[in-house]
Each structure stands twice: as C-alpha cells, then as structure tokens.
Amino acid sequence: MSRPTYTIQDFGPADLLTSEREGLRRMRVDVGQTGFFEGREFRTFREFSIANGASLYIKFTSPVDFIMFEQSLTVDAGSVRFTALTGAAEATTFNIALPVVGKNRMAARPEPFYAAQVEVSTGGTVTGGTIVEVFRVVAANSTAQQSTVGGAAQSERGLNAGTYYLRIENIGNGTATGVYSLFWEERP
C-alpha cells in the first residue's frame, strides 16, 4: 500500500507551513500578537513622587479603539490608590507629554511604519467623572521591611476611542514614590 503524496499547495499558502519537506511540515502558529508585528502596540510610563494628600493625574486620549493589555503600578515608599475615570472635566491643563514608545521597533515591521495615535500627558487635574477601575498598592515602610511592591490590571480589555483620566492618589502618611506603566494596542 503506497502513501498518498501531497504537495505544499494542498495545505494552502506556503507561508503557513514550517517546511516544504514531507514528514517535517507543521502548521505555523503565531505565538505573538499581530498588532505587535505590525507595530501597533505601544507603552508609556511615569515615575512619580507624590506628597501626602496629593494626587498625580494622567490623561490618555485615543482617537481609535484600542486594547489595554496591562497597567502596572510599583511603589517603593508609601501607599497609593489608583483610579481610572471617564467623563471627568479638566480643571487645569495637561501640558507635559509622556513618552509613547513602540513595543516593536524592529526594522522588519511593515512599511510604512504605523504612527501612534494615542497621546498621553500629565500636569493637569480633573473634577468629577465616573470611576471605572480602582486598585491600591501599599509598600512596607519600616526600615527592616522596606521593599518594592506592585499592583497590576493585566487582563486585556477592548476600549472605545475617547479620553480617560488616571489618578494616582497618595493615601499614606508620607511621600509615595514609584512607577506607573501601561501598554496597549491601537485598532484603527
């Protein structure tokens, strides 16, 4: 009994297979995100030092739908409460741009390179709004127990185009220091 012979065309486009050699061919499985390889994933960060009773606000504006993949907040001193707000009114101007850095900066990404549409800034404050997310991070502050702790929201969420305000509020007794970072994929 003879084995049937297949050609690579029997399996669809050649770029879906790992080899042209019979017995070694496997279907390619992309373990990464298409948005990453197309250069549509971005990240930003903000190092902070927030006085007792004060807050840091970050404005995230997207003209396109996007997927929020991860937000992380590490605190090495103090206690903070993070809230995400929608529908807030700006009380003061957001005039300090935060970096928007591509997650895939390889030359092999498709040309023309996709340009980020999201703008992220700080320096302002807001009033009102609806809280759509909240979490807290508290660092151990006694000298013998000091360590950096983190909190994160890491489940992906599809969000519509719009403006979102992120508040990091010092809820402790001393200065709170740490880093807030996030990454997203734009879906034009």
Tens of pLDDT along the chain (188 residues)?
A: 666 665 545 556 666 666 677 766 666 666 567 889 999 999 999 999 999 999 999 999 999 999 999 999 999 999 999 999 999 999 999 999 999 999 999 998 899 999 999 999 999 999 999 999 999 998 876 544 444 455 555 678 999 999 999 999 999 999 999 999 999 999 99
pLDDT at 145: 46
Task: Read off the pTM.
Answer: 0.80
Q: How many domains does the chain have?
A: 1
Quick check: is 153 in a domain? yes
Quick check: is 19 in a domain? no
User: How far is residue 135 from each of residues 51, 66, 73, 99, 142, measured CA to CA in Å?
Assistant: 19, 22, 10, 24, 22
Quick check: is 14 in a domain? no
Quick check: is 66 in a domain? yes
pLDDT at 2: 66
* Residue 45 φ/ψ, nearest 5 degrees: -155, 160
Q: Do 84 and 153 form a contact (C-beta atoms < 8 A)? A: no
Task: Give the CATH number for residue 47.
Answer: 2.60.120.380
Domain span at 92: 35-187
Quick check: is 109 in a domain? yes
Quick check: is 69 in a domain? yes
Q: Do 97 and 119 form a contact (C-beta atoms < 8 A)? A: yes
Quick check: is 176 in a domain? yes
Bridging pattern class, strands 125-127 and 41-50: unpaired
pLDDT at 14: 67
Quick check: is 11 in a domain? no
